[in-house]
Amino acid sequence: MSEQAPTTVIVLAAGGGTRMRSKTMKVLHPLAGRTLLGHALHAARGIAPDHVVAVIGNQREQVAEHLAQVDPDVVQAVQEEQLGTGHAVAVALATLGEQAAGTVVVVYGDVPLLEPETLEGFVADHREHDRTLSVLTARIGNPHGYGRVVRGPDGAVVAIVEERDATDEQRRIDEINSGILAFDLAWARDALRGVGNDNAQGEYYLTDLIGVAVAEGRTVGAYEIEDEIQTEGVNTRVQLARLAAEANRRIVERHMLAGVTVVDPATTWIDADVSIGADTTIQPGTQILGATTIGSDAVIGPDCTLQDMEIGDGASVVRTHASLSVIEAGATTGPFTYLRPGTTVGAGGKLGAFVEAKNTRVGPRAKVPHLSYVGDGDIGEGANVGAGTIFANYDGVNKHRTTIGAQARTSSNNTFVAPVTVGDGAFTGAGATIREDVPPGALGVSAGSQRNIEGWVARRRPGTPAAEAAARAAAGEHSDDDVQESST
């Protein structure tokens, strides 16, 4: 679009959204891993505009902060009072300054399914027909509440009439104004001055620009789309869930068509910005969220929640809850594994059943197979960490690291009191509490040799079932179960 006159997208996001009944501003509610506003900005950026202006008003500190985070180049225009869509656009144009020119495209911050390609097609059509103003329309089953597109006998658009201002005959029109408009900026600046608020809502209607353009004999036209859900806005949480489900259906379908097997689309939730390689299989009950990337030939699920993860080719991730971590190629996690931020499972490595890891690097082919907590650790290549291991990383004040060397074999039920290092190829004994470093190739043991105190139960726990069983054993009898077994 570089040879064209500059393009400005105005995103309207000042309205209140009271029907959400939420502390959170409506346009900041999430859908498919972006806020509603984030989706509108994504569509806006898709046409590579020269400027994007967001009109904010209600709960504007929240919205301004979000804009600064997700798209700091957006110009923020503050509409102190929400006097209508026409007023909102006038505020945006005033913020842009007098020298701004070119084409303006208006979109809404609460319409999340609009696709960049649709907006692109709309703007291209607007330019091809050299119109002063174009409106994106759709025909819908129940047009109640929308502005209706009124066409003249020759089919030309002559006005948009709001529901509350419409005649009975106009209310029967099923072609609606999506709210998405394109028009000439310099013209609109003047034309908006001629728009009043003499209507049922006492608002300055942006849609009144159409009447102005028609009266001036300018070219006005409609661009009708079939896929009406792209024009739908969110007003309640019921609509939010419905549009989220449809967004998800479309995202899952896109991945399937690109070569990903999704066993159960109905229970698979994938955010908009996730990427997945071909021939990966997604098992049921899986949420793949945020900026997660997954390679090819991996198996994900069943029952995973993966937030902002990087997962390599051929990895197997089963019943795993994980965020901000890396699972490298061919590595496996699960079932029932919890990866907290900063964890890396190296190529071919493993975090097994009931293992929690945090800020830990598991080296290539290293394994933590069972029932362990490994926090703030470095586990060397090919090492094996025994069942029931705890990296005691927290001394109550500071966190410390545990280092396990390459090819080390640590035994079951070990506690590593950090900071501590087990050298390459070293072993530890069962039940050891390792407080001192273990040199490479050494065996670290800490439990003393076993001592049996004879008769302790009879003296200290007399009359208990244990004492009775011990007495029978001493008398050469067997327990009841053993008697029955030995008699068969």
Catalytic residues: 370
Alpha helices in 47-134 (DSSP H): 60-70, 85-96, 116-128
Among the listed residues 7, 59, 79, 393, the single contact to ligand UD1 using CB under 6 A: 79
Nearest CB to Ca ion, comparing residues 233 and 377: 233
Q: Min. distance of Cβ 15 from Ca ion in angstroms?
A: 7
143 scored as a contact of ligand UD1 (CB under 6 A): no
Q: Which residue sits closest to ligand UD1, CB atoms considered?
A: 147
Amino acid at 141: G
Among the listed residues 59, 108, 240, 248, the single contact to ligand UD1 using CB under 6 A: 108
Nearest CB to Ca ion, comparing residues 109 and 352: 109
Nearest CB to ligand UD1, comparing residues 49 and 211: 211
DSSP annotation of 300 reads E
Phi and psi torsions of 276, nearest 5°: -140, 130
Of 364, 357, 377, the residue nearest 417 (C-alpha) = 377
Nearest CB to Ca ion, comparing residues 57 and 233: 233
Among the listed residues 179, 314, 330, 363, the single contact to ligand UD1 using CB under 6 A: 179
Among the listed residues 15, 38, 112, 211, the single contact to ligand UD1 using CB under 6 A: 15
Q: Is 333 helix (H, G, I), strand (E, B) or coil?
A: strand
160 scored as a contact of ligand UD1 (CB under 6 A): yes
Alpha helices in 129-259 (DSSP H): 168-171, 185-193, 208-215, 237-257
83 scored as a contact of ligand UD1 (CB under 6 A): yes
Q: Copy the structure tokens of residue 343.
A: 């964890």
Choose the contact partner of 295 out of ligand UD1, Ca ion, none; CB within 5 to 8 A by kind.
none
> How far apart (Å, rounded) are the C-alpha atoms in residues 370 and 207?
64
Nearest CB to Ca ion, comparing residues 19 and 171: 19
Print burial letters for 297-316: b (CB count within 10 Å at least 16), e (below 16).
ebbbbbbbbbbbbbbbbbbb
Choose the contact partner of 14 out of Ca ion, ligand UD1, none; CB within 5 to 8 A by kind.
ligand UD1
Binding mask 219-258 for Ca ion (x = CB under 5 A): --------------x-------------------------
Binding mask 45-74 for ligand UD1 (x = CB under 6 A): ----------x-------------------
Nearest CB to ligand UD1, comparing residues 5 and 215: 215
82 scored as a contact of ligand UD1 (CB under 6 A): yes
Distances in Å between the alpha carbon of 65 and those of 35, 108, 245? 13, 18, 27
- Segment near ligand UD1 (CB under 6 A); pick from 80-88, 241-249, 268-276, 394-402: 80-88
Q: Copy the structure tokens of residue 474.
A: 């001493």
Among the listed residues 7, 8, 85, 103, the single contact to ligand UD1 using CB under 6 A: 85
CA torsion sign for 82, 85, 90, 95 is positive
Phi and psi torsions of 206, nearest 5°: -60, -35
> How far apart (Å, rounded) are the C-alpha atoms in residues 116 and 296?
27
Q: Is 352 helix (H, G, I), strand (E, B) or coil?
A: strand
CB 74 within 8 A of CB 54: yes
Choose the contact partner of 79 out of Ca ion, ligand UD1, none; CB within 5 to 8 A by kind.
ligand UD1
Among the listed residues 25, 33, 51, 110, the single contact to ligand UD1 using CB under 6 A: 110
Among the listed residues 146, 187, 223, 269, the single contact to ligand UD1 using CB under 6 A: 146
- Segment near ligand UD1 (CB under 6 A); pick from 167-175, 201-209, 263-271, 361-369: 201-209
- Segment near ligand UD1 (CB under 6 A); pick from 10-18, 62-70, 236-244, 396-404: 10-18
> How far apart (Å, rounded) are the C-alpha atoms in residues 428 and 447?
11
Nearest CB to ligand UD1, comparing residues 1 and 70: 70
Maximum distance among all alpha carbons in the chain? 114
Q: Min. distance of Cβ 14 from ligand UD1 in angstroms?
A: 3
CB 284 within 8 A of CB 267: yes
38 scored as a contact of ligand UD1 (CB under 6 A): no
Q: At which residue do the structure tokens 């201002």 appear?
A: 165
- Considering only residues 353 through 412, tell me which ones interact with ligand UD1, judged by CB under 6 A: none
Q: Copy the structure tokens of residue 215.
A: 């009266």
Q: DSSP assignment of 363-390, as one string? A: PTT-EEEEEEEEESEEE-TT-EEPTT-E
13 scored as a contact of ligand UD1 (CB under 6 A): yes
Beta bridge partners of 104: 8, 183
25 scored as a contact of ligand UD1 (CB under 6 A): no
Q: Report how far apart the first and last C-alpha atoms of the chain are (Å, whole number).
A: 90
Q: DSSP assignment of 21-64, as one string? A: --SS-GGGSEETTEEHHHHHHHHHHTT--SEEEEEEBTBHHHHH
Q: Which residue sits closest to Ca ion, CB atoms considered?
A: 233
Name 89's Cβ contacts closer than 8 Å, sequence gap at least 6.
10, 12, 55, 104, 106, 188, 192, 206
- Tell me which residues touch Ca ion (CB under 5 A): 233
Q: Which residues bind ligand UD1 (CB under 6 A)?
A: 12-15, 55, 79, 82-85, 87-88, 108-110, 146-147, 160, 162, 176-179, 205-207, 233
